[in-house]
Amino acid sequence: MTTADPLDQTRRRSALGSWYASVREALDRPLTAYYLLLGASGLLLTIGLVMVLSASSVYSYEQNGNSYAVVERQLVWVLIGIPCAFVASRLPHSLIRRFAWLGLFTSIVLLGLTQTGLGRTVNGNQNWLGVGPFVVQPAEIAKLAIVLWAAHVYAMKDKRLGSFHEVFMPVVPGLLAVIGLVVFGKDLGTALVLFAILLAMLWVVGAPGRLFTFALTIVGVVAIGLASTSSERLQRITNFADPFKDYHNAGWQPAHGLFALASGGIFGEGIGASRQKWGELPEAHTDFIFAVLGEELGLVGTLLVIALFLTIAYAAIRVAAQTKDSFVRYMTFGIVVWLLGQMIINVGMVLALLPVIGIPLPLVSYGGSALVPSLVALGILVGFARREPEAARALAQRRKARSAGLSAGRVS
């Protein structure tokens, strides 16, 4: 029996310590959050386009005779969303906050219009607004609008948030009004995400415990009420833990999602090689795109996507922790809970850990109504990161050095 060489152990410990120190040094740099947000968002968007192309190709050909029809529409939304995100990243805080009340009012009006003749019903939910070929889901716009509005109101009252009345009014009634309109359209999934945003905003401003009790009671009552109004929704909620119990009905979609993940293994079948997208898995390019991703890219691909979302959350929370601006702190936290919470719900649905409630995977699933607001929210986060004092100084120094280098090159 041999014993380990003490010198080798010392070298390994030294190498590990050096690696750890390098990582800590990189994370402590002023522009780390800025680059992490840009890099993780860009990678998720790229993965999303690739997976939408793969997951929708069969469906697109059946519906349009063109395997690229869906991804072409998604690419149009990307080309709209990226400039919007860039503009949002450059807007000063004071200008962003001017859209707070307008955003809330617009969201309420659009959600109200879904219950009129302009509303369209999709999968039993009347939560879409259509004028000719243009169709949009106002609830997705409302997610960004309520985060902006709540952050603006709480920032204005930052010194008075020790009072229950100041915490409650007008944010809680305002958000409940938006959530009520979504619930009226029978969209349980989006309503739960909006409830999560409300709870997050209450938590970050230090709301008293009885307010959480009130909010959670409302969530439970609404969830039970919505479930009882639809036999299909009730079946999904009661059978989600064992989708094979009702395999040919409510369990069909989650069961085939599990088939896709199981067949992917560690490294996947390869991009384009999914079998479940050939008609067995409903909503393969929208709500269940994570299943196709797992089938084609395997456990490695799914863990990469989750890691990218966690990277965005880490970078954003770092910005929120370092800022002295209460609006930045509240807005950042609300966006993180929105995107990360939606990712957790979507992955939980695909893994049959949560009921199927129709929540897309941010930046990855098909859908412009969800993609553009998400990109704008990330653009706002990038703007917050680049305006932090140390990050702003570092960027200014780099621009100055680059200008000096270009001047020297012209002289030479």
Mean pLDDT by groups of 10 residues along the chain of 412 residues: 61 65 65 92 96 92 88 95 96 93 94 82 75 81 95 92 86 90 84 89 85 76 67 66 73 87 91 87 90 94 97 94 92 95 93 86 92 96 88 73 65 54
Q: Is 92 left (phi over 0), alpha (psi -120 to 50) or beta?
A: beta
DSSP β-ladder status, 119-122 and 125-131: antiparallel
Secondary structure (3-state) at 136: strand
In a 3-state reduction of DSSP, which class is residue 129?
strand
Structure tokens at 9: 């152990």
Note whether 186 and 124 are within 8 A (CB): yes
- 3-state class (DSSP) for residue 260: helix
Q: Where are the alpha helices (DSSP H) in 91-208?
A: 93-97, 100-113, 138-156, 164-168, 171-184, 188-204
Whole-structure pTM over 0.85, yes or no? yes
Q: Where are the domains of the chain?
A: 33-384
- pLDDT at position 1 is 45
For residue 409, the 8-state DSSP code is H
Could you please report the per-residue DSSP string of 355-403?
-----PPTTTSS-HHHHHHHHHHHHHHHHHHHHSHHHHHHHHHHHHHHH
How far is 341 from 203, CA to CA, in rounded Å? Answer: 15
Q: CA 129, CA 193: separation in Å to the nearest integer?
A: 20
